[in-house]
Amino acid sequence: MKLLSKYRIEDYVNDAHKCLRCGFCVTLCPIHSHSKWESESPRGRMLLIRGMLEEGLKANSIIRDRMFECTLCGYCKYRCPAGVRTIDAYKAVRHQFDELNLSPEPANILEKNLIESGNIFNHPKEARIEWIDYMDLANSIKKINKPAEIVYFTGCSTVLSGRAMSIAAATASLLNYLGLDWTLLGENEKCCGNPLFLSGKLKHVEAIAKHNVEAIEKLGASIVVTSCPGCYRVLKSEYPEIVGKFNFEILHITQLLEKALDDEKLKFKNKIEAKIVYHDPCELGRLMNVFDPPRKLIENIPGVKLTEFIYNRNLAQCCGAGGLMKATFPSIALNQAIVKLTEAHEVEAEILASACQTCKLNMMDAASEKNDEIKIADVTELVAKALGIFESNI
């Protein structure tokens, strides 16, 4: 499998030597800012990797934690003047720890859940469509695992976490509004496998990728749309290295909606009188270069004043939940989300918007923790509300 070539730690010897220890990567590292330990900075991790490769440094729980105390947000890789493949190297080390049976227990649990049930929560496969009834969409969703032009690949959290189901409902409402021929995989959808890629647990990723691709191709779809940046990145970047080329296009929902906006198919009815700041999800923005579609959609909503974080686009601060951080070190994830709330208040935003269910959930946790009344919303929810097709307390 071609993918495995990216997960061999010995292939990162040159990267470990290329690190100039200049510190550019440290500046906005979302984890180092909380601990200040050098070993929890990108350059510190690269030094640990060099020690493992050349100095006889043995794998242990401390090094493991340092490699998992990282959101894999990609800032360090983007910022590095020497071109060190930081996050790729970290994932290779995570893979080595898995082969040594030293993965953190939360990662082991996620793997077990995913293999047993096809989702990260270990819910029965029937639960993948229960959100339809919960969100009162039984009469609106006409196709489940039936041939269609578009497959809406929901991902796990969007339909299995109650607080994120509104994103799935808004997305479904938007696809209906546009009159598109679309379907769900329903019970036949399995987790895209992103938690396994992030944790270096690669034993089952080929089987998962083949299952999902075959399920999509069986329905004859030419487009797969997802509202999850993790699913988007994995389907678009990882799957081709496992199964080769496939016969459908991968779009994030904001890309599909941007085209609809350009084609003048979005007729906004409602104003949203609010100052909105947009948070770039790492896996959508910095890692996949999708920056403009979400902003374009938000700024075209009547009444909205779109503003930016001080650090945005490629310099955006991670919400803290990525890279399995929410599962392995939830307190760090929460603290970083609190940082995002502070940044939002610095620009006097009334609504903190994103295009990722994981970002939304983590920032909602932060707002609850701090009794912060700022509203947290997904772009799909904002667009659907402005179109008058979705009820929301935004």
pTM (whole model) above 0.85 = yes
pLDDT recorded at residue 285? 97
Query: Where does 2-104 have alpha helices with state H?
Result: 13-18, 32-35, 42-54, 61-68, 75-79, 86-99
> For 2-99, CATH number?
1.10.1060.10
Task: Kindly give, in sequence order, each residue whose CB lies less than 8 Å from that of residue 218, ignoring residues fewer than 6 positions away.
Answer: none
Phi, psi for 304 (deg, rounded to 5): -80, 140
Q: How far apart are CA 175 and CA 359, in angstroms?
A: 23
Q: Selecting from 3.40.605.10, 3.30.420.40, 3.40.50.300, 3.40.50.10700, what CATH number does the domain 268-387 have?
A: 3.40.50.10700
pLDDT recorded at residue 3? 66
What is the second-level CATH architecture of the domain 107-259? Answer: 3-Layer(aba) Sandwich (3.40)
Tell me how far CA of residue 126 lies from CA of 170, 186, 296, 357, in angstroms. Answer: 21, 8, 36, 21
Spatial CA neighbour of 354 closest among 301, 266, 293: 293
* 376 three-state secondary structure: strand
pLDDT recorded at residue 4? 67
Q: Where are the beta strands (DSSP E) in 145-240?
A: 150-152, 182-184, 223-226
CA 50 to chain centre: 29
- Residue 144 DSSP one-character state: B
Q: Is 2-99's fold the same as 107-259's?
A: no
CB atoms under 10 Å from CB of 14, counted, come to 9
Task: HSE, CB side, 13 Å, CA atoms: give it for residue 374.
Answer: 30
Spatial CA neighbour of 235 closest among 201, 194, 203, 290: 194
Within the chain, what is the greatest distance between any pair of CA atoms?
65
Spatial CA neighbour of 362 closest among 394, 331, 393, 316: 331
Tell me how far CA of residue 12 lies from CA of 5, 18, 54, in angstroms. Answer: 11, 10, 11
Query: Where does 178-329 have alpha helices with state H?
Result: 194-199, 205-218, 229-233, 239-243, 253-262, 292-299, 325-328
Q: How far apart are CA 298 and CA 303, in angstroms?
A: 10
Which residues does the chain have with pLDDT short of 50? none
Tell me how far CA of residue 227 lies from CA of 21, 153, 169, in angstroms. Answer: 37, 8, 11
For 222, the token pair is 């030419």
Strand order in the sheet with 182-184: 182-184, 150-152, 223-226, 249-252
CA 291 to chain centre: 14
For 71, the token pair is 């959101």
Phi, psi for 231 (deg, rounded to 5): -60, -40
- Cβ atoms of 322 and 283 within 8 Å: the answer is yes
Q: How far apart are CA 121 and CA 376, in angstroms?
A: 23
Burial letters 179-198, b for 16+ CB under 10 A, else e: ebebbbbbebbbbbbbbbbb
Question: Domain boundaries in the chain?
Answer: 2-99, 107-259, 268-387
